[in-house]
Amino acid sequence: MKKLIVANWKMNPNSQEEAKNKFEEIREGSRGLKSEVVVCPPSVYLYASGFGEGVISMGAQNVYFEEKGAFTGEISCVMLKDLGVEYVIIGHSERRKYFLETDEIINKKIKTALQAGLKVIFCIGETAEDRNNGDKEDVLERQIKIGLDGVVSENLNIAYEPVWAIGTGDNCSVKETKESIEFIKKFLNPENRILYGGSVKSENSGSYIKEAETDGLLVGGASLDPKELIDIVKSAE
Ligand code: PGA
């Protein structure tokens, strides 16, 4: 199974030109590397990406579960597929927190995306409060059981992202990540890749692949620097 390295640009950068330059640098740097590299820009830049010319894949950061109609501001799976998008991130903690996405909404999105032929990167993770209260495993189990209710697919990837580790520089230790990954694995099929995300940089990325035995990484802030992202991809080789 190839390692999966996903760049989540979130709401960055501020211009098409900057986005294009980053795509090109990542595409060039990824040539000949063994891992699968997926870039998830804001959806307005998906079209400008040139779709990686087979070197990198494109992913969306969100999608809606209805097929079409009166849903102002939303984008459907069919539209993403038509554009050539291969992956979609669903259930990111920022969507859960700021856009009030529930486990049930996430479940609908995952089902629709898989049915449409998109590959899913399903994010789960506990908050600092959950962790301090000793509720981590209960929270992960709830997110998985509801989020994946009725879902079995080889196109499903899980990203374990402790919320307290996202964008904080306080990345999860290899030991704790490994324990969580082992816990999560119990609910999945062997073909589902499990990634780690949360303050990944080139200086810590290799240890998540080699020591925590993850199948890849979901990278936020560091993925906006193409050189840093390529170093992360190389560390997974
Ligand atoms: P970070 O973000 O790498 O900036 O911590 C990860 C994510 O939110 O996917």
Q: Return the ligand 1 atom nearest residue 93 CA.
A: 8
CA distance 202 to 229: 7
Task: Characterize the bridge pairing of strands 36-40 and 193-197.
Answer: unpaired
CA of 70 to the centre of ligand 1 (A): 32
At 190 the pLDDT is: 94
pLDDT band for 52, please (50, 70, 90 cuts): low
Marked catalytic residue, from 36, 86, 92, 94: 92
Does the domain spanning 4-235 belong to CATH 3.40.50.300?
no
Domain limits, the chain: 4-235
CA distance 101 to 92: 9
Give the pocket of ligand 1 (CB within 6 Å). 8, 161, 166-167, 197-200, 218-222
Q: pLDDT digits over 181-228, tens only?
A: 999 999 999 999 999 999 999 999 999 999 998 999 999 999 999 999
Q: Is the separation of the CB atoms in 60 and 80 below 8 Å?
A: yes
Residues 6+ apart with CB under 8 A from 65: 77, 105, 108, 109, 111, 112
Q: pLDDT digits over 2-14, tens only?
A: 999 999 999 999 9
pLDDT band for 51, please (50, 70, 90 cuts): low
Q: Which helix (H) or strand (E) holds 185?
A: helix 174-185
Q: Return the ligand 1 atom nearest residue 198 CA.
A: 5
At 55 the pLDDT is: 84
Marked catalytic residue, from 86, 94, 161, 228: 161
Q: Return the ligand 1 atom nearest residue 219 CA.
A: 3
Task: Characterize the bridge pairing of strands 4-8 and 193-197.
Answer: unpaired
Q: What is the DSSP secondary structure assignment for residue 171, as one 8-state letter?
A: P
